[in-house]
Amino acid sequence: MDTVQRAQLVKDLAAAIGFDRCGIAPAGPVPRADYVRQWLAAGRAGSMAYLHRNVEKRLDPSKLLPGAKSVIVVALSYHQAEPPRPTDEPCGRVAMYAWGDDYHRVVKKKLHALADGLRERIDEPFKTKCCVDTAPLLERELASLAGIGWIGKNTLVLNEKDGSYFFLGAVVTTLELECDEPALDHCGTCTACLDACPTDAFPAPYEMDASRCISYLTIEHRGEIDPRFHEAMGDWVFGCDVCQQVCPHNRGAPTTGEPRFAIREPGPYPKLGDILTWSDADYGGAVAGSAIRRATLHMLKRNARVKAGD
């Protein structure tokens, strides 16, 4: 089996497992390494100290898995219709990616199934490392190289047909596979995402100052939120979808076929009164198995207080 046949096998298996897209990138230094270093040096990562660790591994997948030759990149849609907003009492708002089960578990399970399927069909030893968001890997850069989509002006990966409401996963492997062509940029002259950002988190197209992003402020930032951002945060208590909501490429985004992403409690519009009165046990029960658990109880109450104006 040559590299082209192996690559086709990878894509066939990925589709059978339920991934919406699959592409292959070389396991070598990413092209925008200098930009990443400058971004970190400029303090754009805010208080996310973990992004300053293992930088060289982030910039070169072959340092994450010695001997790696290829990176299989997959996309899994989480897009779904937005339900009506409750009107009976004040609510917050949760980013769409956290409406269902924790994507880390869902995507990682599928990636392991992909790796296992390849081992069953390729009669030679090879190594794999499955990554979903937590490994020191620049998934967006690799997704662009693998043809999944281009990195848009809002720094998210965009696809002409699928928009941007999808998760990325990667399998770094020592298998040599035929690589795909990098994706072409289709943002054109559009600046909808830049214009709509409530906190002016984009100092320039294709650049984000994460320390100003509502997703960072509500999920990653552990301290109190600067009052200058309170009004701009609106009703977001976990994440933000504004730059995706206004993107023209998301107008026709398909609905996810993954049942585990179906809406579950606390849902898109958690009641502020519930959050503010949650005990540790209430919090644990509400966010178990959800990506919302990334934010601590203290942080969610902090976010709810900002919306409530307290």
Residue 51 has a pLDDT of 85
Residues 58 and 141 in one domain: yes
Contacts of 202 (CB under 8 A, 6+ apart): 153, 154, 155, 193, 194, 208, 209
Q: Which domain holds residue 21?
A: 3-83+99-173
Question: Is 43 contained in some domain?
Answer: yes
Residues 58 and 143 in one domain: yes
| Cβ–Cβ < 8 Å for 112, 54 | no
**Amino acid symbol at 222:** R
Rounded Cα distance between 89 and 141, Å, is 42
pLDDT in tens, 107-156: 999 999 999 999 999 999 999 999 999 899 999 999 999 999 999 999 99
> Can you point out the beta strands (E) in the chain?
21-26, 70-77, 93-94, 128-131, 150-151, 157-158, 166-173, 236-238
Residue 176 has a pLDDT of 97
**CATH at 146:** 3.40.109
Residues 167 and 202 in one domain: no
Residue 140 has a pLDDT of 95
Residue 33 has a pLDDT of 87
Residues 196 and 263 in one domain: yes
Residues 156 and 218 in one domain: no
Residue 49 has a pLDDT of 84
Say whether 133 is catalytic: yes
Residues 169 and 274 in one domain: no
Contacts of 287 (CB under 8 A, 6+ apart): 266, 293
Residues 71 and 111 in one domain: yes
| Cβ–Cβ < 8 Å for 139, 131 | yes
Question: Is 279 contained in some domain?
Answer: yes
Residue tagged active-site, from 60, 101, 133, 185 = 133
Question: Is 88 contained in some domain?
Answer: no
Mean pLDDT by 10 residues, the chain (310 residues): 96 98 96 88 87 88 95 98 91 98 98 98 96 93 98 98 98 98 97 98 96 97 96 97 98 96 95 96 96 97 91
- Could you tell me the strand order of the sheet in which 21-26 lies? 21-26, 70-77, 166-173, 128-131
Question: Is 182 contained in some domain?
Answer: no
Question: Is 270 contained in some domain?
Answer: yes
Total domains in the chain come to 2
Contacts of 91 (CB under 8 A, 6+ apart): 85, 235, 269, 270, 271, 272
In angstroms, the first-to-last Cα distance of the chain is 64
Residues 136 and 284 in one domain: no
Q: Coil, helix or strand for 25?
A: strand
Residue 310 has a pLDDT of 62
Rounded Cα distance between 298 and 275, Å, is 10
**Amino acid symbol at 19:** F
